[in-house]
Amino acid sequence: MPELPEVETVRRGLTNLVVGKTIQSAEVRWEKIPGMSSEEFDAELTGRKIERVDRRGKYLLFRLSGEKTLVSHLRMEGAYYTVPAGTEPGKHDLITFHLSDNVDLFYRDTRKFGRMNLVDTDKAMTVAGLAKIGPEPTEKTLTLEYMQKEFQRKGAVKPFLLDQSHIAGLGNIYVDETLWMAQIHPLQPANTIPLEQMKILRRAIIDELKVATEHHGTTVHSFTNAFGEAGEFQNELKVYGRAGEPCYRCGTILEKMKVAQRGTTYCPHCQVLH
């Protein structure tokens, strides 16, 4: 599933490609994605201008004229890309937005897991998944004081970090990476992490996501940005996808286990469960 750096990369691409264009019509070929018929979707969107594209956590928010917002969650395989008007959609191109300036915006989703919600802009943050979303992992929004308060929970730290209500945008890849950086075992109870280690974890989360975004995210499975380019950050990963290889810090062979139904790679020497 695309995580914050990948979704932010898509947002930046879409900002360059479609902001300022008007939706002339829309076609839906898989109605579960927008939760309405192609006719309804078209009627709601036709004539609206794409004023900007925002992001909150892993959600894209297309801000449209007339105080409407299209909330889009890519889930596993969702992707946007532009083509010349009149281009025939492929098998997995499930929604077409016909835009001004002879451009079509395709939404492609091979697994059909992605979802869209068209809502009044002032109701966008009430959409399921956004209503209880945690702070963005930035210097200003993810404070140490917030983490100290939020981490007063008994559950394992990895599922805690995967829960978007605590911190927005983290997924399997970057949780594994930042826990390795902070030398925290994925099963360590969140409420037992010492303050000094929490400071390191906070810094790792903020810095890792910032650098990953600069690298256009991590290419895993089929992620590409809105320009059809692959991310490069997979070349920088320290633990994710490296089970059976030596730890870059101590040389111990990295191990893999299941945590919260997710494959989890860690160093048994550097990340000791206390």
| Contacts (Cβ under 8 Å, ≥6 apart) of 214 | none
| Contacts (Cβ under 8 Å, ≥6 apart) of 73 | 58, 59, 60, 114, 115, 116, 129
Question: Are the C-beta atoms of 183 and 270 separated by less than 8 Å?
Answer: yes
Of 202, 89, 182, 69, nearest in space to 135 by CA: 202
- CA gap 227, 246 in Å, rounded: 35
The structure tokens 């890849």 sit at: 173
- Please state the separation of Cα 101 from the chain's center in Å: 29
- Kindly list the strands in the beta sheet with 79-84, ordered across the sheet, starting from the edge strand earlier in the chain: 23-28, 93-99, 103-108, 79-84
Question: Are the C-beta atoms of 175 and 161 separated by less than 8 Å?
Answer: yes
Integer distance in angstroms from the first to the last C-alpha of the chain? 30
Question: Are the C-beta atoms of 195 and 151 separated by less than 8 Å?
Answer: no
Residues serving a catalytic function are 2-3, 58, 262
Of 189, 171, 152, nearest in space to 73 by CA: 171
- Of the CA atoms within 13 Å of residue 60, those in its CB half-sphere come to 32
